[in-house]
Amino acid sequence: MSAFDFAEIAEFLLAEARRKGASAADVVVVEGDSLAVGVRLGKIEKVQRSTTRHLGLRAFAGKSSAITSSADFSRGSLQTLAAESVALARATATDEFSGLPEASEVAAVIPDLELYDPAIAEISAEAAVQWCRDAEAAAMDADPRITNSEGGEFASGTHRVFYAASNGFSGGYQTSSCSLSAVPVATDNGSMERDYWYSARRRLADLDSAESIGRRAAERALRRLGSRKPATSSVPVIFDPDMAASLVGHIAGAVSGGALYRGMSFLQGKLGAQLAPEFVSIVDAGNLVGALGSKPFDAEGLATRRTAVIAGGVLTNYLFDTYSARKLGFRSTANAARSVADSPGVSPTNLYLEAGDTAPADIIRSVRSGLLVTELMGFGVNPVTGDYSRGASGLWIESGEIAYPVSEITIAGNLLDMMRDIEAVGSDLEMRRSICAPTVKISRMTVAGS
Amino acid sequence: MSSSITGSLEPRRFFLDRFSLDDRALEDTIGNTIARSADFADLYFEFRSSESFSLEEGIVKKASKNISEGAGVRVVAGDTYGCAHTDDLSIETLRLAGRTARAIAEEGGSANSVSVRLTEPQHDLYSLAHHPLDVPLDDKIGLLSRIDVAARRRDPRITNVMVGLGIEQKIILIVNSDGTVVGDVQPLIRMSVTCIAEENGIRQQGTSGGGGRVDFDFLTDNDRFLRWVYTAADQALLNLGAGDAPAGNMTVVLGPGWPGVLLHEAVGHGLEGDFNRKQTSAFSGRIGQRVASELCTVVDDGTLANRRGSLNCDDEGTPTRRTVLIEDGVLRGYLQDRMNARLMGVQPTGNGRRESFGHAPMPRMTNTFLLAGESAPEDIIRSVDSGLYAANFGGGQVDITSGKFVFSATEAYVIEGGRITRPVKGATLIGNGPDALTRVSMVGHDLALDEGVGTCGKDGQSVPVGVGMPTIKIDSMTVGGTQA
């Protein structure tokens, strides 16, 4: 279905909602095609193709609203959808902050952020199978201790999004994405360890080579073999880039307008405070060309932009959608996101900790005895207090050198203390996901082991 | 968009009518999908209608109604499968999806002739007289408001209350290439309550909830919702005064009910057939070996009436059952779907589940729990000189291959001299699956199943599950507090 058809459907639904008594409304239509291929031990394990489309209507009855969604695009179904949405909106409570953004706030032009690669729609299952085979084979061939595999996987998809609202906004965009991963299993002296590596991009040509993904996955699985459980202690802890990204993710949750007005953020009331050393800056940028978290406009039609969340260690901005911004007396930062079946909430776009100037190797060299975290497990983060306690595994550092792997340990602290105690930020930032970070060193955390 | 479909709903008739199909069309599609050299093929039809409501700051701000529907077609040949999913349910699309699935399973050959026959499900675990989707809107909204009032009345330090109510009905129809046609109608309710407590500039949260494949009255019977409200409120209040949790290896006592998430992570996932067929689980090849203390018997049971994790049949049409995973400490069995059972030369156990028509089935848990032992819970606490009592948990996670698992306490206390003395902040507990249960030295007689809120994620697919456990004592486990 073309964007023109989507526009027609959206106009029809908005008119129906108005006819049924809605004071305002918006419609989002999402359509996607996807392919997933898996190879294990050289043989095809799965090939999966999906096509889905779904639309959601949000109707306002004055200052109250409700959402209905369906995969049935027939005219009769759309009429029922509109009627039910309006009826449901009348049943919810009046909320003075509810409503669409003003017409003056929505994006006037929709920039092409190069989020769509036509090559991705043309990928054949055969080609994908070969990439999976190559990635897995590179892992299996890396070392005789790689004895088994959960396989190589390729996934790709194209999505078309269309959004229209009664404030006059109407527009759409296309995106594509693809990823390739390998999950080898290493065995030695009865211990068995699995690890993975992957590459994910908007454009097919930008994916890392299958060989490099497989080799990296094998290295990661091998270095876990023969792990020890260190004694419980308080030591410096280094987070590798993917693990440091998870810390940025916790900060994203805490600066979200939704968490703030609910009283569920450990960063409430901290705007303007020096939370971290001067060399720490965190940016949300939804308008980066070709990036995985980019989109030309947010779920309420506002043009995405760059927002400095932490600049020079100071908390400079929270992230908002229209509702949470109005409620707390701010302006939306164009961070509204929604699924077709749910009302908008706040979500980061591309959120990253800016690169520092220390080489990651130098950060490791700076530790006399401590931990390099390469994996975190579980959900032990309290967003209200910032209390942090998670399962971990990684590499123990002795005298500035990686000494041996460690596992079955936990690391604990409080996110506010952890931000304050950031001692170094690496130069190794790579935009390989929508939330990312370079290597980060925290001067002290509790490591629980034996 | 219609609201719920209730009464004597018959899934086969429902899908045939809704998509203008007939038995011939099903036979034709499945027959054309399965090639002679494939092991089996199936069609999976799904129609899901759901509603959700949420309350915060004393008012019901959000309401939504959603409908999704579609079909999945799958062909299995050896350890390869091809599948295609679509939400456009015309006979032409189904044929195309069937051909796609067959082609991508790399199977040629001519069509098989299949004649379909309706099979009655063996269980009737959750037929409801009144589907909760049909309960008047005002009753649902009214209940959320009562919860808000009850929580705030519990204690003036409760400053915000968030309540979520989700109701769904899933109608499924599975057409197998052996000709069996099985349908099911699956209701599900889930309520969650989160309270924020505030005192002297300190804020804390508490969460509780419950549900199941039950009617709406289940929520209000014996003021059941009040138990969840008070649990959430009291947890938030308790944590206001909680000290730092200890760090290191110690004796841990886990309370009954939801802490059974330990079993789900420590052993349940590691006993799923796919990992064991591939020899990538820490439990691979260990059937008949001791993996727990003799006090431990662990089962997965999909046949418990009205439970969140229960199903009349799994998503491949196999009736659910009770599978003994660990008996008196010895590993007895794995959880299987059709493909992995066939490849391992065993029977499927009714554990083939998929999140939706858009996902492929794989072995998953239903309700997983540890059977009751003989100790009195108070004797278990009294036996501990120094340790941690964890009464409630958030979620957990496991690395299937190494067996390392974690789960995080949301309500915990220090045990000193055989007595629970003071509350401590939540902490993550970490252990090793094949090892952790060998350290279980006491098992209580107070088996309880959880309240019905669990959702399990695996390979990007979420399905509702249940867990359960009596009070147990684990002699040594690593606790991830900050007080070294």
pLDDT at B1 over 70: no
Q: Which of A262, A342, A382, A389 has the highest number of chain B CBs within 10 A, making it the mutation to test binding with B?
A: A389
- Give the separation between CA A13 and CA A19, rounded to whole angstroms: 10
For chain A, give the mean pLDDT. 96
What is the per-residue pLDDT for B32? Answer: 78
Residue A19 has what pLDDT? Answer: 97
Q: Are A436 and A369 in contact (CB under 8 A)?
A: no
Chain mean pLDDT for chain B:
92
Does B129 touch chain A if contact means CB atoms closer than 8 Å?
Answer: no
Bridge partners of residue B144, in order along the sequence? none
Q: What is the pLDDT of residues B461-484, one digit of tens each?
A: 999 999 999 999 999 999 999 987
What percent helix, strand, coil does chain A show, rounded to 5? 25, 40, 35
Q: Do B406 and A380 make contact, defined as CB atoms within 8 angstroms?
A: yes
How close B120 comes to chain A (CA, Å)? 29
Is residue B174 pLDDT above 60, yes or no? yes
pLDDT over 80 (residue B114): no
**pLDDT, position B6:** 45
pLDDT at B301 over 70: yes
Tell me, what's the pLDDT at B3?
A: 41
pLDDT in tens, B226-246: 999 999 999 999 999 999 999
User: Number of C-alpha atoms within 13 angstroms, CB side, residue A122?
Assistant: 7
* Mean pLDDT computed over B336-363: 96
CB distance A169 to A334 below 8 Å: no
Residue B188, strand partner residues: B168
The span from the CA of B455 to the CA of B2, in Å, is: 27
Q: What is the pLDDT of residues A179-192, one digit of tens each?
A: 999 999 999 988 89
Q: Closest residue of A to B204, CA-based? A: A384
At B7 the pLDDT is: 46
Mean pLDDT of A23-27: 98
Among residues A251, A248, A249, which one has the least CA distance to residue A318? Answer: A251
For residue range B205-228, list pLDDT tens digits in order.
999 999 999 999 999 999 999 999
When pLDDT is averaged across residues A204-229 and rounded to a whole number, the result is 97
**d(C-alpha A78, C-alpha B302), whole Å:** 38
User: Do residues B430 and B444 make contact, with C-beta atoms less than 8 angstroms apart?
Assistant: no
Over 90: is that where the pLDDT of B157 sits? yes
**Does the structure show a pLDDT above 80 at B436?**
yes
CA distance A421 to A399: 21
- Given a cut of 60, is residue B183 above it in pLDDT? yes
Tell me the shortest Cα–Cα distance from A321 to chain B, in angstroms.
16
- On the question of pLDDT at B4 being above 80, the answer is no
Per the CB < 8 Å rule, is A446 touching B247? yes
- When mean pLDDT is compared across B18-22, B132-136, B385-389, B446-450, the lowest value belongs to B18-22
The predicted-structure confidence for A340-398, as pLDDT tens digits, reads as follows 999 999 999 999 999 999 999 999 999 999 999 999 999 899 999 999 999 999 999 99
Which chain A residue has the Cα nearest residue B62? A66
Give me the pLDDT at residue A299, please: 98
Query: Cα separation of B145 and A201, whole Å?
Result: 46
Lowest mean pLDDT among A44-58, A67-81, A310-324, B98-112: B98-112
Q: Which two tokens stand for residue A30?
A: 């999402």
Average pLDDT over residues A278-294: 98
Do A88 and B65 count as a contact with CB atoms less than 8 A apart? yes
Q: What is the pLDDT of residue B112?
A: 65
Whether residue A300 contacts residue A366, with contact meaning beta carbons closer than 8 Å, is answered with no
DSSP letter string, B106-137: T--SPBPP---EE---S------SS-GGGS-H
Instruction: Decide: A157 and A177 in contact? Cβ < 8 Å.
Output: yes
What percentage of chain B carries pLDDT values higher than 90?
A: 78
The band of B104, judged by pLDDT with boundaries at 50, 70 and 90, is low
Structural tokens at position B411? 């309500």
Report pLDDT for A4. 55
Express each pLDDT in B41-66 by its tens digit: 899 999 999 999 999 999 999 999 99
Range B376-386 average pLDDT = 98
Which residue would you say has higher pLDDT here, B73 or A299?
A: A299
* Mean pLDDT for the stretch of residues B31-35: 77
Give A5's contacts (C-beta < 8 A, 6+ positions apart): none
The answer to whether residues B109 and B36 touch, using CB atoms and an 8 Å cutoff, is: yes
pLDDT mean over A274-290: 98
How far B248 CA sits from the closest chain A CA (Å)?
A: 5
- Among A181, A186, A183, A184, residue whose Cα is nearest residue A224: A186
Please name the member of A191, A193, A410 whose beta carbon is closest to the beta carbon of B430: A410
Per the structure block, which two tokens stand in for A283? 């940016």
Please tell me which residue, B108 or A402, carries the higher pLDDT value. A402
B2 has pLDDT over 50: no
Q: What values do phi and psi take at B421, rounded to 5?
A: -105, -55
Helix (H, G, I), strand (E, B) or coil at A286: coil
State the SS3 of B445-456. CCCEECCCCCEE
Contact A279, A425 (CB under 8 A): yes
Give CA A445 to chain center in angstroms.
26
pLDDT at A253 over 90: yes
Residue A71, amino acid = A
CA distance A235 to A370: 5
pLDDT at B111: 59
Chain B environment of A408 (Cβ under 8 Å): 404, 430-432, 478
Please report, rounded to a whole number, the percentage of residues in chain B having pLDDT higher than 70. 96
> Is B461's Cβ below 8 Å from some Cβ in A?
no
Q: Determine the pLDDT at residue B227.
A: 96
Confidence class for position B109, pLDDT limits 50, 70, 90: low
Q: H-helix or E-strand containing B428? A: strand B428-432
Of the candidates B370, B369, B357, B352, the one whose C-alpha atom is nearest the C-alpha of residue B458 is B352
- Asked if pLDDT for residue B95 goes beyond 50, the answer is yes
Q: Which residues on neighbouring strands pair with residue A373, listed in sequence order?
A: A239, A394
Q: Where are the alpha helices (DSSP H) in A92-229?
A: 118-121, 125-140, 210-222
| B430: β partners | B406, B478
Structure tokens at B11: 């899934």
H or E segment to which residue B93 belongs: helix B91-104
Task: Please give the span between the terminal C-alpha atoms of chain A, in angstroms, as a whole number.
Answer: 59
- Give the pLDDT band (50/70/90) at residue B101: confident
